[in-house]
Structure 1
Amino acid sequence: MLDLSRALREYLNYVSVERGCSRNTVLAYGRDLRNYIAGLKHEGVTLPDQITRERIEAHIQHLRESGLAISSVERAVSAIKGFHRFMVSERITAGHPAADLPLPKKPDRLPDVISRDQAASLLDQPFPETPAGQRDHAIVEVLYGCGLRVSELCGLDLRRVLLDEQVLRVVGKGDKERIVPIVGTAAEVLGDYLENWRPQLVNLRVSTPAVFLNNRGRRLSRQSVHSLVARAGGIVGIEGLHPHTLRHSFATHMLEGGADLRIVQELLGHADISTTQLYTHLDRSHIREVYLGAHPRANA
């Protein structure tokens, strides 16, 4: 029988090659499962058949008590369930102690959003007439105008920007590509950055296809995007602005404007529409206005 460390190597190879999971997903699963196996080894468990349901539940309880976010605990539980499912399917072990293990319940919390007026203030502020300043302007325009995740924005390459066709070809979770429209000010500002400002950030000694570059001519990091978005928000009085808030706001404002939920799901790259439904927290006044304008007997 394979020991747990070797079984883990085979599992990570499986999710990378056969399931086609992204590098970030494989790395996250690896961290979660190495932590899980380390805890088991500390208890003297080195073989899959030695793992019991009680040991798994004790590990999950330890994760909860360590102060991890619910989303991080949920990912760890998903990784553990997938690992055990794999070991059963590959006949590494006969038992599946994680078979019906429930995922942690997420608290009912609505996504943070900014108002339309705040979005206008953020995007219309005078960004510095410098390569970095105009890059930052393009970034907030694209995050809000296209609803991208930070990882998608940082991973965006030049060949995937088709401004003549008014679309971006975005690579999302699981390396799945989707088409996202880019129009209006987002298209204008991004086009200006690509034509006039990005060339000034290029380092001739560094070759990169990245759209957004740092001052050394390399692909901009997610940490840098977090910092510049927070800085741009602070200038107009939106303290602690997070890039994901712009994605939430994109979805909310699209739905408030009458966009179909399935269309927003496609634009955001959500595999499950239940995730998109988090954004249907429209205020009651807006719902009433839509009802009054749409129902034939509302004003009788």
Structure 2
Amino acid sequence: MNRTEWEKTLTEFRTYLETDRALATITIRNYLIDIEHLYPFMLKNKLLKFSDFDRSLIRKYLSWLIELGYVRRSVTRKLSTVRTFLSWLIKLGVLIHDPIPPKGIIKSEKRLPDYLTQSEVVKLLDTPDTSTNLGVRDKAILELLYSSGLRVSEIVNINMEDLNLNTLELKVFGKGSKQRMVIIGRLASKYINIYIRKSRPKLLSQELNNALFLNRYGNRLSQRSIQSKTRIYSVKAGLRDGVHVHTLRHSFATHMLEGGADLRVVQELLGHSNPATTQIYTHISDIEAESVYNYAHPRSKQNI
């Protein structure tokens, strides 16, 4: 299918939404936006016509959307739009069977945590201006969040005595005041060390404070401040909407598992008491694995 044929089909679909469905202009616009990735997917997979779609290709399309960075809620919405589009093609006689199951493909699945790709993490972590004291502090915080998979509440409660940069270890108090030791990555350690030596002394007020991370007034940094800073930096980095502090924790867990880490080790590092809580991150890796396999393995492309 070439671009001209695709545009012609979209124009006819728009007319159908306007006349037969009598949808509002904004709704129609959203429908067309939701379906815009279908054409590049068809080109990527050498699909010549809509009748080539089957259930396995629909699953592959959804995996591809997740690979592009869309959260599960967005993928579910796009699936609904594709269902409307394919139902219209069935009415026209272009398709005979609906390749999407009646109850959908992902509706019953657990909502998966949103996470950043490794390249997106680099963009975010490189955003703070390290020529300023607050920028060095923020760089150290972001590096530590991703390095150790900490909750924002754990970050703000860190005291100077909890930190051991010689052994790259940190004592944190998680939910229910449960104590655990976490590992600090070398980049995180580097910027924490710079912050402690150069920036933190300049943020200290006359009243001494043993909190590791301080605000501009020399007081313990708040959770709200870190959450706000993370959103601001994600926008500056040009990342998608919805990036928050916990996204870095999700990214830590996902990238650890993708790198081959044992699930029990990740569970311990995250401070999860229930293994099922950590198990959800393996679902993300499974989706990525399926997408990579379908794309790369020669026999995955053969019909049975």
TM-score if structure 2 supplies the norm length? 0.58
The Cα of 1:125 is off from its aligned counterpart by 3.2
Partner residue, 2:59 = none
Partner residue, 1:184 = 186
The Cα of 1:113 is off from its aligned counterpart by 0.3
Are the counterparts in 2 of residues 150 and 243 from structure 1 also a CA contact under 8 Å? yes
Partner residue, 1:253 = 255
Distance 1:199 1:279, change over 3 A: same
- Aligned-residue RMSD, C-alpha: 1.9
Question: Equivalent residues in 2 for 1:78-227 (5 A)?
Answer: 108-125=110-127, 127-204=129-206, 206-227=207-228
CA distance in 1, matches of 2:289, 2:167: 33
Deviations 1:163-212 (A, max 9, x none): 001101111111111110112211111111111111110001x2321110
- Secondary structure at 2:138's aligned position in 1? helix
CA distance in 2, matches of 1:152, 1:167: 14
The Cα of 1:128 is off from its aligned counterpart by 4.1
Unaligned runs of 5+ in 2: 1-107, 294-304
CA distance in 2, matches of 1:284, 1:151: 30
Partner residue, 1:264 = 266
Deviations 1:28-56 (A, max 9, x none): xxxxxxxxxxxxxxxxxxxxxxxxxxxxx
CA distance in 1, matches of 2:109, 2:275: 18
The Cα of 1:121 is off from its aligned counterpart by 1.1
Distance 1:285 1:130, change over 3 A: closer
The Cα of 1:147 is off from its aligned counterpart by 0.4
Are the counterparts in 1 of residues 144 and 185 from structure 2 also a CA contact under 8 Å? no
Number of aligned positions between the proteins = 184
Partner residue, 1:276 = 278
Deviations 1:200-242 (A, max 9, x none): 10001x2321110001100000000001111111111123320
Greater alpha carbon shift after TM alignment, 109-118 vs 238-247: 238-247
Unaligned runs of 5+ in 1: 1-105, 291-300
Q: Is 1:286 the equivalent of 2:289?
A: yes
Percent pairwise identity = 45
What is the letter of the counterpart of residue 251 of structure 1? A
TM-score if structure 1 supplies the norm length? 0.58
